[in-house]
Structure 1
Amino acid sequence: MKHMVISRTGGGDFSSVQAAVDSIPEGTGGLTVLHIEAGVYYEKLRINKPNLRLIGEGEVRLTYDDYARKPGNEGAPAGTFGSCSTYITGDNIKAENIIFENTAGGSDEVAQAVALYVDADKVAFQNCTFLAAQDTLYLARPKEEKVNRSGRNYFEHCRITGDIDFIFGSATAYFHECEITSLNLGKEINGYITAAATPEDKQTGFVFHKCRLVSDAAEGSVYLGRPWRDYARTVFLDCWLGAHISREGWNDWDKASVWHTVHYGEAGSEGPGAHADKRVGWSKQLRGSELERFTLEAVFGGETDWIS
């Protein structure tokens, strides 16, 4: 196991996270631990090496400010993917005590501005924060747009803030005891928490377990999700839902597939936004044996040692 210290103020092995990642030789088999000292690291970060641990020592903020409408090198808009502050494409990575941020601005001004993009397997986050507005957390491009493995991602005791489709993508992701904060846009509809693009061959998309959904947005103005692709799969289990959650719960995004291939469900919802009897007819209230499909072990195919 190799250890590196990253410090903005000097005294470490590197002054930037990217320099530390770039220094790791290709094909290195062992685990590398990056100890990141407190500070704001303004860098468009590409974590493309596997077998890493990123540990924040104090308040560590990885931040950048690109956005979808920003002109790229050839003058065309950067697009959603180009807006990402941090990209993780290496397998077997764990991040602890880190803030991932995009500071470009609000949805109306800049459109999509992603704080973190992940397209990798066995990537875990503990006590991390993700801050942006539209499209905060991008968990792998849809399968038809890019060859990907729709990897397994895990989030525990994390905080995720955004407004429009701010947890989205094709990965299989499990969120345990996280706080999900919807920003107040001051509109009739203040956003959608999820926009899954689950591949047809995957049984599970996004699972939220014992999470808290909070906001100061108007009552009933935020949807639990809408389907980015036709096989979107998202469930909320034993979660607390604030009053901002719409009684209908889910939005169909004008897709007839919600009646046939989309799988949206809940079980054990509590709080002022929990209205099991008011949900749209194509969503499900999960019971009994149906819940066995959404245990941590079942979601990740019985392989969970990479989380700890």
Structure 2
Amino acid sequence: MRRRRFLELAGGGIAGTALTAAVASPAQATPGRTARGAPPFAIVAADGSGDFATIQAAVDAVPAGNTTPVTIAVRPGTYLGQVKVPSSAPFITVAGLGAGPDAVVIADDRANGTLKPDGTPWGTTGSASVTVDGAGFRARNLTFANLFDEAGHPEITSKQAVAVLTRADRVEFDRVRFLGNQDTLYVNSSAAGVVARAYFRFCYVEGDVDFIFGRATAVFDRCRIHSLNRNSSPNGYVTAPSTDVTNPYGLLFHRCMLTSDAPAGTVFLGRPWHPSNDPNAIGQTLIRESWIGAHIGSPAWSDFGTWPWREARLAEYHNRGPGAVPSADRPQLSDADAAANTMTAFLRGADGWRPQSCR
């Protein structure tokens, strides 16, 4: 079922609204060059016509300790197998050369409970199709997916299956799709208390349970966040933030669209995740000036085991749509608090970072 869904998306792109049309159809790139016109560091082509046939081989060719931006241009095709961008390889951009983000697909198919050759499970972190530890990483105009087939593996009970795990600082994704079910997008940092920032622009993220989660500071700018219908109650949770108590900025959704095919009122905006029962993981999710579909009910937030959502930092501001009806169970920011919780405030840090794709 999961693979069939992937084929439908790979063939059809993202359809629907003006926003999703923008996500699905960036400008046509010139084959053999990056979208900005500069010669790439390397060209990857699945048919062997480029410098490398796999994404990992191109990443491995970047010199350790690289100090200048390099672009890996990827020709249309599906690239299967895990990809790891190490901390020793910063400033890498992976750019799809297709007409839209559906033309280049980077994917793997393992879950938390999938067994390694030694008989032990991969775990949630190990399940990631793509892991980014290199600072300054950027990706644009492509798709990341985890194709783990939940229905095809009833023997696996730990079904967390990550499409992308980020642990690096100053990472950017521009017109990128993230496809999965549980735990699709893991925005994390290298250690508890370490701040790592990520920026997502005109992206599409889909999943069902906790499918955007972690302790990173992550801004989603005009993205579509799509909750899959898993035909259960509840149908899922959009976010599971684990923001460290020392970090004032967690997950921010700015002018996004939250959509779903699930029945009305069956999906939660999120719940606070405390990894290993860490009491200092006081998660933050802020959804502001966004359109929310009827799949979100009231209350919009959920406890996570024994951890109550009211003790986390979960709030909304000036949202609209059938799933954005204010109530006593839906905390709203004041105008003053909203003015202090902007995209700029979330991302700038001590170094004044402003993502290239945000300019």
Q: TM-score by structure 2 length?
A: 0.80
1:147 shift after superposition: 5.4
Q: Does 1:287 align with 2:334?
A: yes
Aligned residues: 301
Letter in 2 for 1:285: Q
Q: Deviations over 1:187-208 (max 9, x none)?
A: 1210000000001110010000
For the 8 Å contact 1:165–1:191, the answer to whether it is kept is yes
Whole-Å separation in 2 of the counterparts to 1:120 and 1:172: 11
**Which residue in the other structure is 2:185 paired with?**
137
Shift of 1:254: 3.8
Give the Cα separation in 2 of the matches to 1:147 and 1:74: 29
CA contact (8 A) 2:46 2:77 kept: yes
User: 1:94 aligned to 138, 150, 155, which one?
Assistant: 138
Q: Please state if 1:54 is matched with 2:94.
A: yes
SS of 1:127's partner is strand
Equivalents in 1 of 2:51, 2:223: separation in Å?
A: 33
Is 1:114–2:154 an aligned residue pair? no
How has the CA–CA distance of structure 1 residues 74 and 211 changed in structure 2, closer, same or farther, with 3 Å as cutoff? same
Aligned-partner Cα distance in 1 for 2:341–2:239: 17
| AA matched with 2:341 | F
Alignment match, 2:266: 221
Q: CA deviation at 1:75?
A: 1.2
Q: 1:190-205 to 2 correspondence within 5 Å?
A: 190-205=235-250
Distance 1:76 1:140, change over 3 A: same
Structure 2 residue aligned with 1:160, among 187, 193, 205? 205
The structure that is strand-richer by fraction is 1
- Letter in structure 2 aligned against 1:252: D
Closer, same or farther: CA 222–94 of 1 in aligned 2, 3 Å: same
Answer whether contact 2:44 2:74 (CA < 8 A) is retained.
yes
Q: 1:36 deviation in Å?
A: 0.5
Q: Which of 165, 168, 171 is matched with 1:123 structurally?
A: 171
For 2:268 and 2:85, the matched residues in 1 are separated by: 32
- Cα distance in 2 for partners of 1:61, 1:9 equals 14
Is residue 2:231 matched to residue 1:186?
yes
Stretches of structure 1 that go unaligned for 5 or more consecutive residues are none
**1:272 pairs with one of 322, 327, 343:** 322
1:199–1:231 CA contact under 8 A, matched in 2: yes
Amino acid at match of 1:136: T
Partner of 2:225, secondary structure, is strand
Q: Unaligned 5+ residue runs, structure 2?
A: 1-38, 275-280
Name the CA distance, whole Å, in 1 between partners of 2:209 and 2:77: 29
1:201 is paired with a residue whose SS is coil
The CA deviation string for residues 109-130 of structure 1, in whole angstroms up to 9 with x for no partner, is 4511110000000000010000
Deviations 1:229-276 (A, max 9, x none): 24000010011111100211100224455444x111101111110121
Residues 1:33 and 2:71 aligned together: yes
SS of the equivalent of 1:184 reads coil
8 Å Cα contact 2:193/2:246 also seen in 1? no
State how far apart, in whole Å, the 2-side matches of 1:255 and 1:275 are.
27
